[in-house]
């Protein structure tokens, strides 16, 4: 009984005292921001046909659909060309800011707004990776994804160094930013622009109010206990969101694998042959012909794909097997990106897979990246370690990262 109680208390302490997986969530943040940024840049010349006023899915059709499903999209607030250009440009800016990790608590919300605004405007545009991105942009809002490899982490290191010198640290950007977005949120809510499904409005208002409470506690609390309580709540929310991301990735592979088992072409080992000979999925016909020339190779790839997808959720119970299957799946997605011409689908899936990468591997990868010679400014440049029981977040007047 004592052993059970000790294990339970240890588990509770681990979940509440620190935000788990700081490197994994950083890779997810960078991966999905990069995927959406590259997609928007590639489709920049065709943006009007995909999501704008010149598309076959007209504003009137989109309005009828959204009146039915209540989906959130800022593009439905106006049918003007100037408004569309502004939303598209802001979506690009939000991608860059999230990629760099600047004010990640705010930019993750804005990134979600940009993704949902464009995707919900034209729901028939996508290749499967958009569904993953659609879900993950919502989950990212609840994570503390700026603990490492971000401008937030660099700022936190500089603030610690300043406090060590006895200087008072005040956040001069967070409160004005919070005020501006609060006014925008009040205006669009009063105008009825957030009517429909309540999920996104609830997220927007909850995050905005939580940031205000965080700043107020840091500014006026006489003891550190309220701030510790808020930090515990933030860790629990982060760890819960991280668990949901992992479960979502497992669900994607499990359902894909079990549905494939039911298909006759997957059962006879020929399923991979057919997409290789579709014009839509053949950017390199000669390469596709070479890969499909061997019937044995086609059969092995077909059965191997099903085996890996079905087995992956069970492989999580063995670290070595999990790492092997993870490398195989990432390689498979890289091949799909090249052979079938689906780079953004593959990037989205690789970013989702990154949640299972070993911390030791990511730390070594970060160390290699840190040794790349870059021009540096004077001052403390070392990135801080992720917050935890042995390295708690310092108390200061500011907004959470």
Q: Tokens standing for 158?
A: 């500089």
pLDDT of residue 388: 46
Q: What is the mean pLDDT of the chain?
A: 89
What CA–CA distance (Å, rounded) separates 267 from 286? 27
In the block, residue with structure tokens 């540096």: 376
pLDDT of residue 401: 56
How far, in Å, are 252, 300, 353 from residue 315 at the CA level? Answer: 15, 20, 13
- Which of 83-87, 160-164, 333-337, 389-393 comes out lowest in average pLDDT? 389-393
pLDDT of residue 376: 55
Q: Is the pLDDT of residue 298 over 90?
A: yes
> What b-and-e string marks burial along 20-41, b requiring 16 or more CB atoms within 10 Å of the CB?
bbbbbbbbbbbbbbbbbbebbe
pLDDT band at 396 (very low <50, low <70, confident <90, very high): very low
What CA–CA distance (Å, rounded) separates 180 from 212? 12
Between 389 and 89, name the one with better pLDDT.
89
pLDDT of residue 345: 93
DSSP-derived letter for residue 79 is -
pLDDT of residue 391: 41
pLDDT of residue 394: 40
Mean pLDDT of 280-298: 88
Q: Is the pLDDT of residue 141 over 70?
A: yes
pLDDT of residue 12: 83
What CA–CA distance (Å, rounded) separates 316 from 251? 13
pLDDT of residue 395: 39
CA nearest neighbour of 344 among 128, 187, 58, 88: 128
CA nearest neighbour of 84 among 118, 60, 113: 118
Q: Is the pLDDT of residue 231 over 90?
A: yes
CA nearest neighbour of 107 among 211, 186, 202: 211
pLDDT of residue 398: 54
Q: Tokens standing for 373?
A: 């010679």
Mean pLDDT of 289-296: 89
What CA–CA distance (Å, rounded) separates 56 from 251? 33
Asked if residue 150 lies in contact with residue 107, where contact means CB atoms within 8 angstroms, the answer is no
Q: Is 163 exposed, middle or buried (0-12, 13-18, 19+ CB in 10 A)?
A: middle
Q: Following DSSP, what letter does each residue of 272-335 receive, concatenated?
A: GGTGGG-GGG-SSHHHHHHHTS-HHHHHHHHHHHHHHHHHHHHHTTSHHHHHHHHHHHHHHHHH
- Which of 103-107, 293-297, 330-334, 365-369 comes out lowest in average pLDDT? 365-369
Mean pLDDT of 330-338: 94
**Angle subtended by helix axes 225-261 and 22-42, to nearest 10:** 60
Q: Express as a percent the part of the chain with pLDDT over 70.
A: 93
Asked if residue 329 lies in contact with residue 313, where contact means CB atoms within 8 angstroms, the answer is no
pLDDT of residue 271: 94
Mean pLDDT of 96-100: 97
Q: Is the pLDDT of residue 220 over 80?
A: yes
**Has this prediction a pTM greater than 0.85?**
yes
pLDDT band at 400 (very low <50, low <70, confident <90, very high): low
Mean pLDDT of 324-328: 95
What CA–CA distance (Å, rounded) separates 398 from 401? 9
pLDDT of residue 299: 95
Q: Is the pLDDT of residue 374 over 90?
A: no
Q: Tokens standing for 13?
A: 């302490």
Asked if residue 269 lies in contact with residue 294, where contact means CB atoms within 8 angstroms, the answer is no
pLDDT of residue 1: 60
Mean pLDDT of 174-190: 95
pLDDT of residue 144: 95
- Which of 47-51, 99-103, 126-130, 336-340 comes out lowest in average pLDDT? 126-130
Asked if residue 120 lies in contact with residue 72, where contact means CB atoms within 8 angstroms, the answer is yes
Q: What are phi and psi of 388, to 5 degrees?
A: -170, -170
Q: Tokens standing for 251?
A: 């669900």
């Amino acid at each position: 009984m004592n052993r059970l109680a000790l294990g339970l208390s240890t588990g509770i302490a681990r979940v509440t005292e620190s935000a788990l997986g700081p490197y994994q969530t950083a890779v997810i943040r960078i991966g999905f921001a990069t995927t959406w940024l590259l997609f928007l840049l590639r489709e920049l010349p065709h943006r009007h046909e995909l999501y704008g006023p010149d598309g076959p899915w007209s504003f009137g059709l989109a309005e009828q659909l959204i009146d039915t499903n209540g989906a959130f999209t800022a593009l439905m607030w106006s049918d003007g060309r100037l408004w569309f250009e502004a939303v598209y440009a802001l979506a690009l800016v939000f991608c860059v800011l999230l990629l760099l990790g600047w004010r990640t608590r705010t930019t993750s919300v804005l990134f979600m707004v940009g993704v949902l605004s464009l995707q919900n405007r034209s729901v028939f545009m996508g290749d499967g990776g958009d569904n993953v991105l659609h879900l993950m942009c919502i989950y990212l809002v609840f994570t503390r994804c700026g603990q490492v490899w971000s401008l937030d982490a660099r700022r936190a290191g500089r603030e610690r160094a300043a406090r060590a010198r006895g200087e008072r640290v005040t956040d001069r950007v967070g409160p004005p930013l919070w005020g501006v977005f609060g006014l925008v949120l009040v205006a669009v809510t009063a105008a009825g622009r957030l009517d429909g499904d309540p999920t996104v409005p609830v997220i927007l208002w909850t995050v905005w109010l939580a940031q205000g409470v965080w700043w107020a506690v840091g500014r006026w609390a006489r003891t550190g206990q309220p701030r510790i309580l808020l930090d515990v709540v933030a860790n629990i929310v982060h760890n819960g969101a991280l668990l949901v991301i992992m479960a979502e990735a497992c669900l994607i592979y499990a359902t894909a694998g079990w549905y494939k088992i039911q298909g006759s072409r997957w059962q006879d080992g020929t399923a991979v042959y057919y997409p290789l000979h579709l014009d839509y999925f053949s950017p390199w016909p000669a390469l596709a012909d070479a890969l499909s020339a061997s019937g044995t190779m086609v059969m092995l790839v077909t059965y191997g794909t099903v085996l890996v997808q079905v087995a992956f959720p069970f492989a999580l119970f063995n670290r070595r097997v999990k790492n092997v299957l993870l490398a195989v799946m990432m390689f498979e997605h890289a091949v799909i990106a090249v052979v079938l011409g689906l780079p953004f689908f593959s990037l989205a899936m690789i970013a989702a897979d990154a949640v299972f990468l070993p911390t030791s591997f990511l730390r070594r990868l970060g160390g290699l990246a840190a040794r790349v010679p870059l021009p540096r400014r004077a001052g403390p440049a070392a990135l801080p370690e992720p917050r935890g029981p042995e390295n708690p977040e310092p108390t200061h007047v500011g907004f959470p990262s």
